[in-house]
Chain A
Amino acid sequence: MEYLFLILKVIIFIGLAPLLSGIITRIKNNLRFRKGPGIWQPYFNLFKLFRKDEVVSEQASWIFRSAPYIVFAATLTALMLVPALTAWPLPIFTGDFLTIIFLLSLGRFFLALAGLDPAATFGGMGSSREMFIASFVEPVVILAIFAVSLTAETTNLAIIAAFKAMHPATVLAAGALLLVTLAETSRIPIDNQETHLELTMIHEALILEYSGRSLGLLELAAYMKQILFFSLISLIVFPGWNDLASFLLKWLALGVIVAVVEISLAKMRLFRAVDWLSFAGILAIMAIMTLILGV
């Protein structure tokens, strides 16, 4: 029964992930007085891509072919470990909060290799930049996780989610995670999903050589990663509210925040991203400091 519920939960997550992106785009366009596509557009894109033929470079090896499946599998497994949408804590026996971060880096590792595989300049550029950003994201996330886990006294997310009290440390840590989320979901000010400008793109450069089914799978994985980060932040800031209705609200609220941030900031230079992430790191350290000082 519990396993059935777990699978159902993952299906709900995957089903809603593109919608979240569609809604954020919609909000952004409304705020900018633009017409823009409807909120269902990501689904149309995905189903179109799934049906299409693929063009694969003659240089590409099995790494390029298998990377989308590995990225998808890693993101799906990470999503499985997020104890959202449950009234009772699920038996999360396979991994904890830290495991989620390492699973995401498994996907990223293969994506970066796949960027180098077709011997194009853009792919290499993307993979270098992606790994650059990711290596600064990792310590921030770990510090934020530590701050949250220290308040709940465990790194098991199910317990953290059921932990009712809100704490200054968790709020600060969630702030750090929000800054990181913008980098991880390739949004302004770190990256920009809407452009294919050679000199600035990071994530889009990585997947430039992909088409058809593989591209669809990678995009779906990116949507899933976004909903995963949103869920983590929601779990941390408002623990205890774990049913579907409150989750929809929390996702929407975060979507509005992200949309507003995106339209009000300009994209940073690549090397300024370090400053952005250091700021997030300082927030996370402050979260730990509040615990030490016993605020």
Chain B
Amino acid sequence: MLKIPFSFVFDPLSIFFLIIIIAISISSFIYSWGYLQGHYSTAKIILGQILFVLFVFSMIAVVTAGNIFLFLIVWEIMSLVSYFLVIFDTENKKSIEAGTIYMVMTQVGTAFLLMAFLLMYRAAGSFDFNAIHAALITMSAKQKNIIFLLLLAGFGTKAGIVPLHIWLPIAHPQASSHVSSLMSGVMIKTAVYGLIRFGIIILGVNSLWWGELIVVLACVSCLVGVIYALMENDIKTLLAYSSVENMGIILLGIGSAMIFIKLGFTVLAVLAMCAGLYHLINHAIFKGLLFLGAGSVYRATGTRNIERMGGLIQKLPWTSIYFLIGSMAISALPPLNGFVSEWLILIVFFLGALAITGGLKLFFCLAAGALALTSGLTAACFVKAFGLPFLGRARSAKAENAKEVPWSMNLGAGLLALLTILLSLGAVYTVRFLVGVSGFVLAVNTSQINFSLNRFILSPQIGGTINLSTPILALILLLAGSGAFILFYLLYGKARVVIGQTWDCGYYKLTSRNEYTATGFSKPFRLAFSFFLLPFRKVTKIKESRYHVKSFSYETKTTKVFREYLYKTILGGAFGVSRNMRGLQLGSIHIYLGYICLTLLLLIIFVGKF
């Protein structure tokens, strides 16, 4: 009989993830009361909150489980509970569909993990992390490679790495917003935890190509995620695609840490891991914040389509400020935290390119180019995500009548906005904390490693000249902006402002129909990336007579290449095989008994062979 020890770990890595889980959970929990109130029956609200608490506890268990058996069990509980949270709106058919896709993809991912864990168990004869680590040292490189690829596929599914991302933009938007914020902010990060725990700590980086593969996949995820996000008009789906992108950015840091540790650049590896983990905590917080903001917008307007919003900055002043802070942080604008982590990753690439000669130098430079393109596209995406819903004129009656959401929702989101600002100004403290975590992960002694000059200035190249200080930048920005304002006041007096209409070319009063649309906003990008998006466009003219067109209808959509080509092919193949297997079902009990015997025989041969 197997003995299952209930062991837990509380090392720096677990504690780091615990902090993130708890910070986001508290905010989401406060937010959820206002969000659920009045939209569901009391019984259902209580059920929802029980599931929510279970979800949080299962995530805590995932990052503290001390052996692979327990890990796998709590991992499955986490998937199962989140499945129930995705299908919470059971009367909505779309939720059920999203839940099914989520469940299937998660189970596929777990299947890969199960295989990896079984191989580990066979080598060690124990479930314990330390025992497995000790046993794996002597394992052959080939087997290690197989385990690594299985882990990457398993955790990659949960993390939403392209091309395993398809469930993410379907499932996340269907859950209630406070749950989406937890799923996008925290749950997908547990996959990164798994990758670090099993791939780096337990397995140990064995080959250079592991890190390179992760960096390449991360670049693809970044670009694919942000391009899809730009095309999206559903605010929550947009945020979900942007999670795919940000998971890519996190993995850029972690992948390059794996490269550096293999090449023996320990300090650089620590910096890269630091940068990746910094982006991880940043993304957890601002994506949580943005999902809460999107939930407030949804509650206030009753729609998730940004084409039907507009002018919400007047109606939802608090929500708009939170959403703006989140959008600025995710677009990597200084002096906010998203900027610090992306800057750190760029510096990691730079220092990597500086230290290494030959092909890898170009590799890092191109990765930096991909990250820069991503960050430019993200800024465009969030100009759209903030500008179209919140600015301009209301585009529907629902947006016209929107009201500010209850205080509990604002409080929950406000906490995360505050954390965003704290993480921006306290960049040095965050990095100092993360150096410890990274040192633990990479088994590097970090007592001599200090990436800061003093309490304000980051200096990621030790003894070098590359510096950054977010508090000082924030101060200079503030001084420059207010300085210009005061100077004008002193020189020319108070600004004399006349309120007028927006310029309408002298025709008639503008309506919301004259505004630029979300689809129009993303059109240049749709054309520039048409080789990948394969857009479809149809214009129909409804004519009153030969000479006069009564109305136009314009239809455009993009093709999701992975869903259309990759997954449809796999599904088609699976259905085809199933259809052919039907021939085996003869309905006679004797034949079925024969099948069982045959299977048993094959299994015995299999066990004997291996």
Contact = CB atoms under 8 A, between A and B. Distances in A.
Interface of A: 50-51, 53-59, 61-63, 69-70, 72-74, 76-77, 80, 92-96, 98-99, 102-103, 105-106, 108-109, 112-113, 116-125, 127-129, 131-132, 134-139, 141-143, 146-147, 149-150, 153-156, 158-159, 208-209, 212-213, 217, 270-271, 274, 281, 285, 288-289, 291-292
B391 A154 contact: no
Contacts of A102: 332-334, 339, 342-343
A132 B313 contact: no
Among A58, A62, A109, A125, the most chain B Cβ lie within 10 Å of the Cβ of: A109
27 contacts: A95-B334, A98-B346, A102-B332, A102-B333, A102-B343, A109-B333, A113-B386, A119-B510, A121-B516, A127-B387, A128-B516, A128-B522, A132-B528, A134-B380, A135-B376, A136-B373, A142-B368, A142-B371, A142-B372, A154-B461, A154-B466, A155-B350, A156-B467, A209-B502, A281-B369, A292-B361, A292-B362
Contacts of A51: 492
A80 B503 CA distance: 36
Given A59-B502, A120-B510, A136-B376, A95 B473 contact: yes
B524 A270 contact: yes
Interface residues of B, number: 90
A292 B365 CA distance: 11
Q: Is the interface of A mostly helix, strand, loop or mixed?
A: helix
Contacts of A288: 353, 361-362, 365
Nearest to A95: B468
Given A54-B495, A98-B346, A138 B467 contact: no
A79 to B, nearest CB: 10
A80 to B, nearest CB: 7
B333 to A, nearest CB: 4
B523 interface: yes
Contacts of B350: 146, 149-150, 155
A94 B365 contact: no
A281 B522 CA distance: 23
A155 B498 CA distance: 46
Interface in B370-410: 370-373, 375-377, 379-380, 382-383, 386-388, 391-393
A18 to B, nearest CB: 16
A99 B332 CA distance: 11
B347 interface: yes
Given A109-B331, A109-B379, A120-B503, A99 B473 contact: yes
A268 B155 CA distance: 46
Interface in B56-96: none
A76 to B, nearest CB: 4
Contacts of A117: 387, 391-392
Contacts of B469: 93-95
B477 interface: yes
A116 B252 CA distance: 33
B387 A113 contact: yes
Contacts of A213: 488, 492, 495
Interface stretch (B98-106, B115-123, B479-487): B479-487
Contact of A292 (B358, B476, B484, B525): B358
B273 interface: no
A74 B516 contact: no
B485 A69 contact: yes
Contacts of A53: 496-498
